């Protein structure tokens, strides 16, 4: 009975990530992820066969008792099952996996290739696109054109982070003082989740981002819009928020293109209202954003964003309205 339950747990554990999910390596939506998923299933099936065979042999040995087999026959079994079969299996695995290693460890892209730069910050993601008219900066969300090869150029100026979008490709470290590369080739449109896969400090687990894969035309349109300056707020509350943003010195850390705010310490907020989330961890919801502005430590302990509780609720609500209107 206990072994049946254990088997059920193993099967469930294996089957659960296979369910379509935005953060599953077994629901591939990219070229490398497809290779990795195929490799995983191949290894899982062969391992399962070996596991069942080993258990069957163990069961047989326990039941058979001593003296059943004479020495030469037992030696032959050890030679074949203990030496030949593992050697053949492990060699087959190696041969099956080796051709993909070169594709996963990437080198600098050729000139003219489409590049997106991602920098690991404490604890968020700085994202810079090479647009037709220069660099376009964003944060905590990566947009990619479907079916096109994107070379992601990765670095960090603080500690080691790791860039991982399980649905699209393998993971790769972002190392201070070094540049690493990852090639992404999405094969399915949709929104996928990315995480930091290297422990980097208190809010490591809250260092997440979304990857939005768009049809190539939609992507081009989006990139042109993203390169544009911020829209002026249209509501009275939004205008009050813009004034609070300027008076409180937010522009010392954040850039809002088209306004005097030109700070580079924190995320570029030019189109923050059009992003899927806030602060790399919050879903868009006004209450959450107000908590973030009032006391960032409650949302993301250790973040460099200072608390603005002193502004008071009316001005914080105005700020939230302003940020939402930055589309
Ligand atoms: Cu960044 Cu973990």
Ligand 1 site, residue 143, Cβ cutoff 6 A: no
Task: Determine which residue's CA is closest to atom 1 belonging to ligand 1.
Answer: 161
pLDDT of residue 103: 57
* Overall average pLDDT of the 154-180 stretch: 95
Cα–Cα distance measured from residue 222 to residue 291, given in angstroms and rounded to the nearest whole number: 29
H or E element at residue 195:
strand 190-196
* Residue 326, ligand 1, Cβ within 6 A: no
Q: How far is the CA of 118 from the centre of ligand 1 (A)?
A: 13
Whether residue 279 is predicted with pLDDT greater than 60 in this model: the reply is yes
Q: Please give the Cα distance from 230 to 309 (Å, whole number).
A: 26
Model pTM score: 0.85
Q: Which residue do the tokens 């050729």 mark?
A: 110
pLDDT in tens, 229-258: 999 999 999 999 999 999 999 999 999 999
Between the two ends of the chain, the Cα-to-Cα distance in Å is: 58
Q: Where are the alpha helices (DSSP H) in the chain?
A: 2-15, 31-64, 71-79, 85-104, 216-227, 236-247, 286-294, 296-299, 313-325
pLDDT value at 186 more than 90: yes
Using the predicted structure, report yes or no on whether residue 17 has a pLDDT greater than 60: no
Work out the number of other CB atoms within 10 angstroms of the CB of residue 114. Answer: 14
CA 8 to ligand 1 center in whole angstroms: 34
Bridge-based pairing of strands 115-120 and 150-156 is: parallel
For residue 7, pLDDT beyond 80: no
Q: Using one digit for the tens of pLDDT, what is the confidence trace for 33-57? A: 999 999 899 889 989 999 999 999 8
Residue 218's H or E segment, with its range, is: helix 216-227
* Residues whose CB falls within 8 Å of the CB of residue 144, separated by 6 or more in sequence, listed in order: 116, 150, 184, 186, 211, 212, 213, 214, 219
Q: How far is the CA of 260 from the centre of ligand 1 (A)?
A: 31
User: Which ligand 1 atom sits closest to the C-alpha of 159?
Assistant: 1
The whole-number pLDDT of residue 203 equals 94
| CA–centroid distance, residue 199 to ligand 1 (Å) | 5
204 lines ligand 1 (CB under 6 A): yes
**What does the pLDDT look like over 199-223, one tens digit per residue?**
999 999 999 999 999 999 999 999 9
164 lines ligand 1 (CB under 6 A): no
* 3-7, 48-52, 68-72, 237-241: least confidently modelled range: 3-7
Whether residue 63 is predicted with pLDDT greater than 90 in this model: the reply is no
303 lines ligand 1 (CB under 6 A): no
pLDDT category, 19, cuts 50, 70, 90? Answer: very low
- Is the pLDDT score of 11 beyond 80? no
Q: Is 194 in the pocket of ligand 1 (CB under 6 A)?
A: no
How far is it, in rounded angstroms, from Cα 70 to Cα 172?
53
Give the per-residue pLDDT at 231: 93
Q: Are the C-beta atoms of residues 130 and 115 closer than 8 Å to each other?
A: yes
The total number of residues written for the chain in this structure = 327
Does residue 120 line the site of ligand 1, with CB under 6 A?
Answer: yes
pLDDT(260) > 60: yes
Least confidently predicted of 114-118, 132-136, 318-322: 132-136
Cβ(123) – ligand 1 distance below 6 Å: yes
Ligand 1 atom index nearest CA of 174: 1
DSSP state of 66: T
DSSP structure string for 257-280: TTSS-B--SS---TTGGGSSEETT
Q: How far is the CA of 281 from the centre of ligand 1 (A)?
A: 13
Q: Which pair of structure tokens corresponds to residue 5?
A: 């339950």
Asked which of 16-20, 107-111, 258-262 is least confident by mean pLDDT, the reply is 16-20
**201 C-alpha to center of ligand 1: Å?**
7
Looking at residue 18, its pLDDT comes to 47
Are 14 and 40 contacting, i.e. CB atoms less than 8 angstroms apart? no
pLDDT at 14: 54
Q: How confident is the model at residue 16 (pLDDT cuts 50, 70, 90)?
A: low
pLDDT for the residue 180: 93
- How far does the centroid of ligand 1 lie from the alpha carbon of residue 122, in Å? 8
**What was the pLDDT predicted at 113?**
80
In the reported structure, the alpha carbon of residue 175 is separated from the centroid of ligand 1 by a whole-number distance in angstroms of 11
User: Could you give the CA distance from residue 321 to residue 238 in angstroms, rounded to a whole number?
Assistant: 5
- At which residue do the structure tokens 């490591």 appear? 204
Spatial distance between the Cα atoms of 324 and 327, rounded to a whole number of angstroms: 7
Is 207 close to ligand 1, i.e. is its CB under 6 Å away? yes
């Amino acid at each position: 009975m206990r072994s049946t339950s254990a088997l059920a747990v193993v099967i469930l554990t294996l089957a659960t990530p296979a369910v379509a999910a935005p953060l599953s390596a077994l629901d591939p939506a990219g070229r490398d992820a497809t290779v990795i998923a195929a490799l995983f299933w191949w290894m899982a099936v062969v391992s399962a066969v070996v596991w069942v065979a080993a258990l069957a042999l163990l069961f047989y040995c326990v039941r058979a008792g001593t003296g059943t087999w004479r020495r030469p026959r037992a030696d032959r079994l050890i030679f074949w099952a203990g030496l030949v079969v593992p050697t053949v299996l492990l060699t087959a695995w190696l041969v099956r996996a080796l051709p993909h290693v070169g594709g996963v460890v990437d080198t600098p892209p050729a000139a003219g290739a489409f590049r997106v730069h991602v920098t690991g910050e404490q604890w968020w993601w700085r994202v810079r696109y090479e647009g037709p008219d220069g660099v376009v900066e964003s944060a905590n969300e990566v947009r990619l054109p479907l079916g096109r090869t994107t070379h992601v150029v990765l670095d960090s100026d603080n500690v080691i982070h790791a860039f991982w979008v399980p649905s699209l490709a393998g993971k790769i470290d972002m190392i201070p003082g070094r540049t690493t590369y990852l090639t992404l080739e999405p094969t399915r449109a949709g929104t996928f989740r990315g995480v930091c896969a290297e422990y980097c400090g208190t809010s490591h687990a809250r260092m997440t981002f979304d990857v939005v894969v768009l049809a190539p035309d939609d992507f081009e349109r989006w990139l042109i819009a993203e390169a544009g300056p911020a829209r002026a707020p249209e509501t009275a509350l939004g205008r009050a928020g813009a004034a609070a943003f300027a008076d409180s010195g937010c522009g010392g850390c954040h850039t809002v293109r088209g306004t005097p705010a030109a700070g580079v310490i924190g995320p570029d907020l030019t189109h923050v209202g059009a992003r899927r989330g806030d602060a790399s961890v919050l879903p868009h919801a006004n209450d959450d954003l107000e908590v973030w502005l009032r006391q960032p430590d409650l949302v993301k302990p250790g973040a460099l964003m200072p608390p603005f509780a002193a502004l008071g609720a009316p001005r914080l609500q105005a700020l939230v309205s302003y940020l939402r209107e930055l589309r």
